[in-house]
Each structure stands twice: as structure tokens, then as C-alpha cells.
Amino acid sequence: MTPRAFTLLALLVGGILIFTTSEGQAQSCGELWYRRNSIYKAAGYCFKTARAIRTFGNAGCSYDSDYALPLSFGQR
């Protein structure tokens, strides 16, 4: 492999790694928790933890199991 080809390969691989890691780093654990639970709330989930109940409440909830939630593939 020539030095130029190696450099291009390294840039390509590096670019892919930067893209995928920046996607994951774009949101904190707390942001992901909030995003997931917002989807659950909209679908009618009855929260069990004090933090989730405090944040989202349980008014109007219909589902005790996350498996029973009517969610699309993308939402899951």
C-alpha cells in the first residue's frame, strides 16, 4: 500500500469513527433518558420510578408494561 493510499484509508476510517462517535456523544445519558421517556409518556406508559413520575406524571396512563406500548419500530 502506498503512503497516499494509507493516508486516504486512515482518513476514511477516521471520518467514519468521528461521525459515529459524535452521534453518540451528541446526547448525554440524561437527555437520552428524557427522550425515551417522552416517547413512553406519549404512548400512555404508567411510570414506576419516583424520578419519572415526578418528571412526567402518570395522569392518563394506560400501560403498565413497556412491552404492551403501541410503539413503532423506530420508537422502540
Predicted confidence (pLDDT) per residue in 9-37, tens digit: 444 445 543 334 455 556 899 999 999 99
- In a domain, residue 27? The reply is yes
Identity of the residue numbered 31: E
Q: Is residue 11 part of a domain?
A: yes
42, part of any domain: yes
Q: Which residues have CB under 8 Å from 46's CB, separation 6+?
A: 58, 61, 62, 63, 64
- Buried b / exposed e along 8-27 (16+ C-beta atoms within 10 A): eeeeeeeeeeeeeeeeeeee
Residue at 32 is within a domain: yes
74 falls within a domain: no
What pTM was computed for the model? 0.65
Above 50 in pLDDT, residue 74? yes
Residue 14 lies in a domain: yes
Domain ranges, residue 21: 3-68
- What is the number of structural domains in the chain? 1
Kindly list the distances between the CA atom of residue 75 and the CA atoms of 34, 37, 72, in Å, as whole numbers in the listed order.
Answer: 13, 11, 5
| 43, part of any domain | yes
